[in-house]
Amino acid sequence: MYRAPRGTQDILPQEQPYWRYVEEKAAEICCLYGYERIDLPMFEDAGLFTRGVGEGTDIIEKEMYVFEDRGGNSLALRPEGTASVCRAYLEHGMHNRPQPVKLYYIGPAFRYERPQAGRYRQHGHFGCEAIGDADPALDAEVIDMAWQFFVGLGLGLFTIVLNSIGCKKCRPEYLSLLKEHYSPHVDEVCADCKVRFQKNPLRLLDCKSPQCQPIADAAPKSIDHLCADCAEHYSDVKRYLSSLEIPFTDNPRLVRGFDYYTRTVFEVQPAGGGSQSALGGGGRYDVLIEELGGKPAPGIGFATGMERIILGLQKETVPVPSTPGPQLFIAYLGEEAGEAAIKLATTLRRNSTAVIMSTGSRSLKAQLRQANNLSVPRVVIIGEDEVKTGTVVLRDMTTSQQESIPVGKLLELLQ
Rounded Cα–Cα distance for residues 346 and 289 (Å): 54
Angle between helices 16-32 and 306-315 (to 10 degrees): 110
Q: Following DSSP, what letter does each residue of 85-136 receive, concatenated?
A: HHHHHHHTTGGGSSSSEEEEEEEEEE-----BTTB-SEEEEEEEEEES---H
From 67-75, 231-239, 341-349, 383-391, give the range in contact with RNA by CB under 7 A: 383-391
Q: How far is the CB of 366 from RNA (least distance, A)?
A: 3
Q: Which of 22, 60, 80, 330 binds RNA (CB under 7 A)?
A: 80
| Site for RNA contains 366 (CB under 7 A) | yes
Q: Are 166 and 174 in contact (CB under 8 A)?
A: yes
Comparing CA positions, the residue from 153, 109, 146 lying closest to residue 130 is: 146
- Please tell me what DSSP assigns to residue 59: H
Comparing CA positions, the residue from 97, 100, 103 lying closest to residue 30 is: 103
Q: How far is the CB of 354 from RNA (least distance, A)?
A: 17
| Site for RNA contains 26 (CB under 7 A) | no
| Site for RNA contains 370 (CB under 7 A) | yes
| Site for RNA contains 256 (CB under 7 A) | yes
Q: Which of 119, 179, 221, 253 binds RNA (CB under 7 A)?
A: 119
Rounded Cα–Cα distance for residues 91 and 83 (Å): 12
Site string for RNA, 266-285 (x = CB under 7 A): -xx-----xxxxxxxx----
- Of 192 and 291, the one with the shorter C-beta distance to RNA is 192
Going by C-beta distance under 8 Å and a sequence separation of 6 or more, which residues neighbour residue 336? Answer: 384, 387
Q: Which helix (H) or strand (E) holds 50?
A: helix 46-53
Q: How far is the CB of 26 from RNA (least distance, A)?
A: 13
Q: Which of 2, 3, 93, 352 binds RNA (CB under 7 A)?
A: 3
Q: Are 303 and 282 in contact (CB under 8 A)?
A: yes
Q: How far is the CB of 245 from RNA (least distance, A)?
A: 23
From 168-176, 181-189, 255-263, 314-322, give the range in contact with RNA by CB under 7 A: 255-263
- Please tell me what DSSP assigns to residue 79: S
Going by C-beta distance under 8 Å and a sequence separation of 6 or more, which residues neighbour residue 64? Answer: 46, 49, 76, 77, 79, 110, 111, 112
- Please tell me what DSSP assigns to residue 282: E
**Which residues within the stretch 294-313 sit at the binding site for RNA (CB under 7 A)?**
303-305, 307-308
Q: How far is the CB of 6 from RNA (least distance, A)?
A: 4
Q: How far is the CB of 314 from RNA (least distance, A)?
A: 12
Q: Are 402 and 355 in contact (CB under 8 A)?
A: no
Q: Which of 16, 343, 363, 413 binds RNA (CB under 7 A)?
A: 363
Q: Is 311 exposed, middle or buried (0-12, 13-18, 19+ CB in 10 A)?
A: middle
User: Residues 406, 407, 409, CA angle at the centre, nearest 5°?
Assistant: 70
From 86-94, 107-115, 134-142, 229-237, give the range in contact with RNA by CB under 7 A: 107-115
- Of 242 and 375, the one with the shorter C-beta distance to RNA is 375
Q: Which of 372, 390, 409, 411 binds RNA (CB under 7 A)?
A: 372
| Site for RNA contains 125 (CB under 7 A) | yes
| Site for RNA contains 88 (CB under 7 A) | no
Q: How far is the CB of 79 from RNA (least distance, A)?
A: 8
Q: How far is the CB of 277 from RNA (least distance, A)?
A: 5
Q: How far is the CB of 306 from RNA (least distance, A)?
A: 7
- Of 97 and 156, the one with the shorter C-beta distance to RNA is 156
- Of 38 and 358, the one with the shorter C-beta distance to RNA is 358
**Which residues within the stretch 166-205 sit at the binding site for RNA (CB under 7 A)?**
192, 203
Q: Are 364 and 332 in contact (CB under 8 A)?
A: no
Q: Which of 48, 66, 90, 364 binds RNA (CB under 7 A)?
A: 364
Q: Are 197 and 186 in contact (CB under 8 A)?
A: yes
| Site for RNA contains 314 (CB under 7 A) | no
Rounded Cα–Cα distance for residues 87 and 1 (Å): 40
Contact set with RNA (CB under 7 A) = 3, 5-7, 57-59, 80, 111, 113-120, 123, 125, 192, 203, 206-209, 255-258, 267-268, 274-281, 303-305, 307-308, 333, 362-366, 368-373, 381, 383-386, 393, 395, 397-398, 400, 402
